[in-house]
Amino acid sequence: MSDHHIFTVADIRDAMLRVVQGGHSVFAPSASKMWLNCAGSLIPNLFAPDESGEDAAYGTVGHMVGEQWLKSGKKPLHLLHKTFWVDGAGWGFFITVDEVMVDHVERYVKWCRRLEGEHFVEQRVDFSVLTPIPNQGGTADHVACAYQVMVITDLKMGKGVWVYAEDNTQAMLYALGFFYAWDWLYDFQRIIIRIAQPRLDNFDVWEITREELLEFAATVKVKAAAAWEKNAPRTPSPEACMWCRVQSTCTARAKVVFDVAGGDVTTGDKPVDVKRMIMFKKELANNEDAALAEAATLTTFELERIYTWKPSVERFFKQVQEELESRANDNAKLVLTKQVEGRTHRAWKHPKAALHRLLELGLDRGDVESLEMASPSVVEDLLTKAGHKRKDLPDLLDDLIFKPPGRTTIVPIKDRRRPVHDRDGGAFDD
């Protein structure tokens, strides 16, 4: 692939074939936040290596447990304590099904079972009518269809990023696939999107109308066509960049970050074409210092706009560091930085042998071993593994546990949690 991201038709064809042969779609629903918001991100990501980590592998196995459970109607105890190999990150991971995983999946299964209508589990859907190439779609975890009602439930086994049902383009693409396949029978008027994220106790629900779903389809058709253009302009944004595989080397993204740091909080609304990227490269070559805006001069809305970039920007700089380290390991010439050995702390080679020696030397075990009470969450997992049912844990532990007030944080407005200033529910308004 070219360092300047100039792709030929042959390059794109070969990359597309690799994706399809791997059983995936070019217009993957799981990456839809990216290619729907940044047209220029789709094709470069076809060339990027697989970065799926252990959390993704854990999710793959969790989905398998849920699929077997929903299809058979029985708890898949035969999978308990079995270990599975999941490809990812250029190699793969061993994932063991334990009581904790089964317990989390059970909450998702029970949530789906309560739904009325016909149930579809791990169902392949197609929305190629909206894309410039055929055979595009995805696999919906669970869909329940009744007269005029479709309920899409997407299982998320991760616990690092809170996933919302509102404006969830992945689930909406699944809904479109089902709409095209089954609307003739069910006449869908209500589409309910649900996110099951049991490890975060997040069971989020959002509903749209038939008209709103079809409006989304029209948008997808336009944006999918734009994303399939060679060297399309890029439009970095917090949603588009979060899981983009080429963000660490993306000139357009770096320009937006610099613009935001300089006080231009509207820059993310503008596509960054090749001309603007070249101009930015010239600026990087000529300017050694970047002027930072004083936070106090910004309005509340401007601060909110900048703050939405926080998770994405932190990930960006982490990946830039990883990319630099990778290039340094490949003997790339570094001019402004250098690679050194990081600071570390002394550690015991063999802790048990060290403990034995220290006790012989007259030290007390309590002085050299620290004993810290495990958190309630860890204890609950331990009790589950020991054979206790999770539904019984509140009776066993609630009188021992309290939940202190949490430190305030900023989240998107669509988050279902009540604002701090509204926690009294208006009880003292009078």
What does the alpha-carbon distance between residue 174 and residue 189 come to, in Å, rounded to a whole number? Answer: 16
Domain boundaries, the chain: 29-48+115-227, 234-329
Q: Which of 105-119, 231-245, 409-423 has the lowest mean pLDDT?
A: 409-423
pLDDT computed for residue 314 by the predictor: 81
User: Chain-centre distance of CA 112, in angstroms?
Assistant: 22
- What pLDDT score does 391 carry? 83
Q: Tokens in use for 172?
A: 């909406």
Q: What is the DSSP letter of 426?
A: T
**What would the mean pLDDT of 55-73 be, rounded to a whole number?**
95
pLDDT for position 322? 83
What amino acid is encoded at 209 in this protein? T
What confidence score (pLDDT) does residue 202 get? 93
pLDDT at residue number 306: 63
At 137-195, the pLDDT tens digits run: 999 999 999 999 999 999 999 988 889 999 999 999 999 999 999 999 999 999 999 99
- How much is the pLDDT for 215? 98
Distance CA 199, CA 203 (A): 10
Question: Which pLDDT belongs to residue 320?
Answer: 79
In tens, the pLDDT along 347-395 reads: 777 778 777 877 776 777 777 676 556 677 777 887 888 788 888 888 8
pLDDT one-digit tens code per residue, 219-243: 999 999 999 987 788 898 888 988 8
- pLDDT of 109 above 70: yes
Looking at the chain, the whole-number percentage of residues with pLDDT higher than 90 is 40
Rounded CA separation 12/20 (Å): 12
Q: Does residue 20 carry a pLDDT above 60?
A: no
In Å, how far from its chain's centre is CA 371?
A: 35
Q: Which residues pair with 76 in a beta bridge?
A: none
| Helix residue spans in 169-294 (DSSP H) | 169-186, 210-227, 238-241, 251-261, 274-286
* Cα–Cα distance measured from residue 98 to residue 83, given in angstroms and rounded to the nearest whole number: 9
Say yes or no to pLDDT of 293 above 50: no
Determine whether 422 is exposed, middle or buried from the number of CB atoms within 10 Å of its CB (0-12, 13-18, 19+): exposed
pLDDT average, residue stretch 189-202: 96
Confidence at 70, pLDDT banded by 50, 70, 90: very high
Its sign, for the CA torsion 221, 222, 225, 230, is: negative
- Mean pLDDT, rounded, for 309-332: 81
Q: Which residue in 172, 220, 283 sits closest to 27, CA to CA? A: 220
- Cα–Cα distance, 320 to 257 (Å, whole number): 13
Residue 430 has pLDDT above 50, yes or no: no
Cβ burial of 164 (10 Å; 0-12, 13-18, 19+) is middle
Distance from C-alpha of 123 to C-alpha of 143, rounded to nearest angstrom: 8
Query: CA-to-CA distance for 149 and 210, rounded, in angstroms?
Result: 10
**351 CB contacts (<8 Å, ≥6 apart)?**
none
Highest mean pLDDT among 254-263, 283-292, 322-331: 322-331
User: Rounded to the nearest 5°, which phi and psi values hold at 297?
Assistant: -85, -5
Tokens of 24: 């995936």
Residues 6+ apart with CB under 8 A from 219: 36
Give pairs for 19-28: CB < 8 Å, separation 24+.
19/46, 20/135, 25/135, 25/136, 25/137, 25/138, 26/131, 26/133, 26/136, 27/127, 27/131, 27/133, 27/136, 27/224, 27/227, 28/138
**How confident is residue 246, by pLDDT bands cut at 50, 70 and 90?**
confident
Mean pLDDT score, 59-78: 96
Alpha carbons 163 and 425: distance in angstroms, whole number: 25
Q: Is the pLDDT of residue 130 over 80?
A: yes
More confident residue, 421 or 47: 47
